[in-house]
Amino acid sequence: MKSEREQGRMTVYDTWVKNFPGKLSSHPEFPDLPAPGGGSDHVPFGTFLGVPIITFTYKNATWTESYPLYHSLYETPFMNEHIFDTNHMAVHRSIGQFWAEVARAFADPPILPLNVSMYAQTLLGVYVSDLKKTLDSLKNRFPQEFAKQAKAIDNKVKEISKKFPTDHLDYRRIKSINDRLVAVDRCFVNPWGMTHGPSKRHVLYSISDKDSYSAQVMPGVYDEITNIIHAENGKERNEAGKELARQISIIQISVKCATNTLLDMI
């Protein structure tokens, strides 16, 4: 877009970082990458099978969720061409080019471009940090109702950030690394599923029992936090607290699995 180029932002990526900055202070050059939502075909691959997935959308920086005509009778080709994307379909073209570049980036290199260090840093620096804040808030409201569980994740997740040697790798070595990179996501699949949804098995990126559409990180944990807040009596709150501790322990075990998966040994 001309207005973006005038501001020195020459690529879609530059505009993305400017309007939606990432949450990792160690990587200010990366944009925000929210968890995938629950309203598209990628859901069973990610939440049930633990297959690495990607879903991307375009949205205006001033929109909180989506554009006003989304899923309405007015969402027509005419609207796209004459109201929404008036610069010769520049937005559609840019998104298509972005998709093609992502596909090329995964197809060309011998080792899959899956950054497990970023996975670990996001889990530790964003997800666990947010969870600690929520738990601290609950602790002040219900000081006797549940144990401190979040700290156990910290020491486990740091082991994930190991670097792989990438020089002079033969085919078997490359395959071994790729297999482990893909397998990391499967470590976060709980074969028994969530308490209220056996088809939702990914403990980090599944769909919440409270909202089957929007993205939710650690839905099993936050569902139980919601249950604690809205419990009608001490017994219900105590049961929710026990389930909260169990859900956090499942994530801890998953992190240990991911750590062991990345170790360079049998």
Mean pLDDT of all residues in 237-252: 85
Express each pLDDT in 52-107 by its tens digit.
888 877 777 777 666 777 778 888 888 888 888 888 888 888 888 988 998 999 88
Give the pLDDT of residue 203: 85
Judged on CB neighbours under 10 Å (0-12, 13-18, 19+), 182 is middle
Q: Is the pLDDT of residue 133 over 70?
A: yes
Q: What letters, b where the CB count within 10 A reaches 16 and e where it falls short, cover 49-82?
A: ebebbeeeeeeeeeeeeeeeeeeeeeeeeeeeee
Residue 98 and residue 115: Cα distance in Å, rounded?
Answer: 19
Q: Band of the pLDDT at 170, cuts 50, 70, 90?
A: low
Q: Is the pLDDT of residue 210 over 50?
A: yes
Long-range contacts of 39-43 (CB under 8 A, 24+ apart): 39/213, 43/207
Q: Band of the pLDDT at 198, cuts 50, 70, 90?
A: confident
> First vs last Cα of the chain: how many Å apart?
51
List the chain domain ranges: 2-107, 116-262
Express each pLDDT in 103-127 by its tens digit.
999 888 888 888 777 777 787 777 7
Q: Is the pLDDT of residue 201 over 50?
A: yes
Residue 112 token pair: 């899959």
Express each pLDDT in 31-47 by its tens digit.
888 877 766 777 788 87
Residue 103 and residue 26: Cα distance in Å, rounded?
Answer: 27
Express each pLDDT in 230-243 by its tens digit.
888 888 888 888 88
CATH number attached to the domain at 116-262: 1.20.930.40
| Mean pLDDT of the chain, nearest integer | 76
Give the pLDDT of residue 104: 93
